[in-house]
Chains A and B, each alone.
Chain A
């Protein structure tokens, strides 16, 4: 079971470190990271394994969203299923 964490906004120092630290705290294992400037947006996308998550999905989502607010970037945490269903037959 995996979740996709996206961070969109203005680049600042240490975003990746802070987001992955938070993931580690909640035992979400980072499997993949893509970082690029796309359509004039700085975008970082992390795929994290959530099968051994400490706490529930809402906790991961809430704490990463709160971290995003602190850093002035927009963070979304979504289950991989929504992307798979929408873009694969």
Chain B
């Protein structure tokens, strides 16, 4: 029987503490759309996306209404376009337009998969795709792009790292009128995962089935509210509280995914166990860390608190659902988290600390705004550092960094909505150019003699 206290707790979690399902993402394979004629291929891509996902938004809204829980985003991820477009032997930018049109017609707010996987080198199609990213992101509204430049098994493709520094700058430069938003739709990965439902880095890996539903949960506000009830508990008890509440959050993700998969007639893939913040008041991962006992996120102790949070979220979530995957962990996108924005503005949170934090939590340097005059080689070196953390620690890391063209430290970029606003964060001035321009491959790390 349903207990009165349980009912009120659930309602409070949704109404007061911003519990929501962050995204239902439909992964669609485009392998059968390959054609040497780019126009034919694009038509197949458009038709496939719009037929598979025609009911995605409607079903999402139905579930939202029935369960009384907001499902913030309905999204689509597709097979990395570099694979689909390789046979065309030309710039694949038309695929981006087809994806954008399909996304608008089915009503999803973002579509991911304008991607290339180049951890060990480039095929001709990969090069064409990477070169077309700035044009594709500047001329589309909903398309997201990602490039995987390294992995634990292959090492890091330093040529790709070098290339991506320039591409990020170009993305920002071509979208200055949209507050450099192009760069916010591009993620550079090490150890990219094939079933990630979160944007901008979602793509539908070639090892995935024809079509699949993946769900990303959220709820930093709920975790913080739960911790607030235990101001004096020791840190083991804090970990247990996070586990319990994560279990409850993740169960809802499992339920939503199961219902969506049934109604859409598409297999249910994974739940991504994540704490994804939004700029809304009470929906911040930084505030959880502060609730644990830091005066400001970014101070000494932040990495330890985040490691505990990230681990407890997974432990709680694992039992709540049948299959987990994606990026699973706490996200720390600076511009999308009210507490991170404050901490960065106050100077407590710097890029070096964020880098350390990414070694113990989900993903990486995310939604960080840097000075507009940052050289491409410096951006490449930031990518290389972050990829090295991922490669050595066998985890996914990513860089989504936005050069604020024409702006300096002390100013900010504001996109509004879920993307929030980010203060320009200072970087080192010394040049890493010689290292970046060496090119080649950083060899894969040794997996014994661990220290």
Q: Which residues of A pack against B, CB within 8 Å?
A: 4, 6, 8, 34, 36, 38-39, 43, 45, 47, 57-58, 61, 76-87, 89
Contact = CB atoms under 8 A, between A and B. Distances in A.
B449 interface: no
A18 to B, nearest CB: 20
Given A83-B10, A87-B248, A78 B3 contact: no
A78 B2 contact: no
Interface in B1-27: 2-11
A4 B251 contact: no
B68 A58 contact: no
B184 interface: no
Main secondary structure of the interface of B (DSSP, over half): helix
Interface in B57-91: 62, 65-69
A47 B7 CA distance: 11
A57 B5 CA distance: 24
A34 to B, nearest CB: 5
B351 to A, nearest CB: 38
Contact of B66 (A79, A84, A87): A79
Query: Lowest 3 CB-CB distances: which A-B pairs, in order?
Result: A78-B68, A87-B6, A85-B255
A58 B62 contact: yes
B345 to A, nearest CB: 35
24 contacts: A4-B2, A4-B7, A34-B4, A43-B4, A45-B7, A57-B62, A57-B65, A58-B65, A58-B66, A61-B68, A76-B11, A77-B68, A78-B10, A78-B66, A81-B67, A81-B255, A81-B259, A82-B10, A82-B68, A83-B10, A86-B6, A86-B251, A87-B3, A87-B6
B148 interface: no
Contacts of A80: 2
B254 interface: yes
Nearest to A83: B2
Contacts of A58: 62, 65-66
Contacts of B69: 78, 82
A82 B248 contact: no
A52 to B, nearest CB: 17
B252 interface: yes
